């Protein structure tokens, strides 16, 4: 798959399977779990120094905009 994007397949595989990548991936899933992410795509926003999940699964752009505007008004 990497080669279809003009990437070096062997380099991609080596980096993808690296311990650093495994750790970063595990950390991302841990944060997602802590934020209550139950599906993908999910959208999170940082507001006043905190992360908030504003969408789990499909959400229309109109709903996202309304949620963001509401958060900004608080």
Confidence of residue 63 (pLDDT cuts 50, 70, 90): very high
The pLDDT tens digits of the residues spanning 3-38 come to: 889 999 999 999 999 999 999 999 988 988 887 788
Give domain limits for the chain.
1-34, 37-74
Q: Supply the pTM of this predicted model.
A: 0.54
The pLDDT tens digits of the residues spanning 41-58 come to: 888 888 888 888 888 888
* 13 alpha carbon, distance to own chain's centre: 21
Q: Is 30 exposed, middle or buried (0-12, 13-18, 19+ CB in 10 A)?
A: exposed
């Amino acid at each position: 798959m990497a080669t279809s994007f003009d990437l070096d397949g062997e380099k991609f595989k080596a980096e993808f399977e690296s311990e650093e990548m495994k750790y970063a991936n595990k950390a991302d899933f841990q944060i997602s779990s802590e934020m209550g992410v139950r599906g993908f795509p999910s959208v999170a926003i940082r507001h006043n120094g905190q992360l908030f999940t504003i969408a789990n699964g499909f959400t229309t752009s109109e709903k996202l905009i309304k949620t963001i505007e509401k958060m900004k008004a608080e």
